[in-house]
Amino acid sequence: MLRIGVLSDTHISECTDLFQRQVRHAFSHCQVIIHAGDLIDRRILRAFSGKEVHAVHGNMCTIDTQTALPPHKIVKYCRFTIGICHGAGNRQTIEDRLLQLFPAVDCIIFGHTHVPQRTKIGSILLLNPGSFRGTGRHGAMGAYAVLTIDEHGLSASLHELPADL
């Protein structure tokens, strides 16, 4: 069994103690991490030391991070192909643009909307972990996802970070 921790929209410039506690809570059981952009600064990926990490940049990343990370990428685990992109533009048509970008994958991981989403369109699983730092002034908790690959196939679960970390 392979567990892949998925997060997006961290919107931080440094690897704070709080962020490290949240990462340990959410992803200690994951072997791989996928960050779907808007890290701000790529140095926060140090929080995932010892794990295989894949990341793309988002529209809020520094120039250095945008230069260091691709806007999208494809990874393969077992027999499954996963497209990773932050997303951009109108939230109402983001799925159409993602399906055009990755027409031949099993799963598309994206961010940008800050809204957790697990949807299947045809045979493609679309997974947005939501915003790891929460969704704004209304007090929504931070969210993340875990993608699991096992003998049954590919599945995903959505989670909220506890408020007491």
* Domain spans in the chain, listed from the N-terminal domain onward: 2-160
First vs last C-alpha separation in the chain? 28
pLDDT confidence tier of residue 9, bands split at 50, 70 and 90: very high
| The predicted structure's pLDDT at residue 165 | 77
CATH of 2-160, one of 3.10.620.30, 3.40.350.10, 3.40.50.10320, 3.60.21.10: 3.60.21.10
How far apart are alpha carbons 27 and 42 in whole angstroms? 18
| The predicted structure's pLDDT at residue 137 | 56
| The predicted structure's pLDDT at residue 164 | 81
Average pLDDT over residues 147-159: 96
| The predicted structure's pLDDT at residue 96 | 93
Q: What is the pLDDT of residues 60-74, one digit of tens each?
A: 999 999 999 999 999
Percentage of the residues of the chain whose pLDDT score is greater than 90 = 87
Q: What is the pLDDT of residues 95-151, one digit of tens each?
A: 999 999 999 999 999 999 999 999 999 999 999 999 998 766 555 689 999 999 999
Whether 50 has a pLDDT exceeding 60, the answer reads yes
Q: What are the Cα distances from residue 79, in Å, to 150, 152, 154? A: 11, 12, 10
Number of CB atoms found within 10 A of residue 164's CB = 4
Q: Tell me what the pLDDT averaged over the chain comes to.
A: 93
| The predicted structure's pLDDT at residue 90 | 83
| The predicted structure's pLDDT at residue 122 | 95
